[in-house]
Homo-oligomer: A and B are copies of this chain.
Amino acid sequence: MTAGDTLSIVFAALADPTRRAILSRLAQGPATVSEVAEPFPLSAPAISQHLKVLERAGLITRTVRAQWRTLSMHAEPLDEAAAWVERQRREWNLRLDSLETHLDTMKTKPNIDP
């Protein structure tokens, strides 16, 4: 993995159910660390580790205002991940379509080969 390979870092960040649940929570609006941690039977350091992974992937940011630390989601890395997945699905569907057209042609055209 190269340093510039942000897509790998984003997919790796998404490869954990706790981190995906944290993101789902933050997609609905900013929250404090304790609000985000509340549903999970995890230690504070474990939650902190998950937040670091999400932060490194650019999926969340922390802002500190007075004593309040707020976590917010950032959608841009998700857009990139979605674009990559969409590209593969499109290629795949194009290929299925052309296979189907090919099979239809074979069905309607009489075989003139010996």
Contact = CB atoms under 8 A, between A and B. Distances in A.
Given A29-B95, A78-B88, A82-B85, A15 B20 contact: no
B89 A85 contact: no
20 contacts: A1-B16, A7-B17, A7-B20, A8-B20, A11-B12, A14-B84, A14-B85, A27-B89, A27-B91, A27-B92, A27-B95, A28-B91, A28-B95, A73-B88, A75-B88, A75-B89, A75-B92, A78-B92, A82-B82, A85-B85
A71 interface: no
Interface string A62-80: 0000000000010100110
Interface residues of A, number: 34
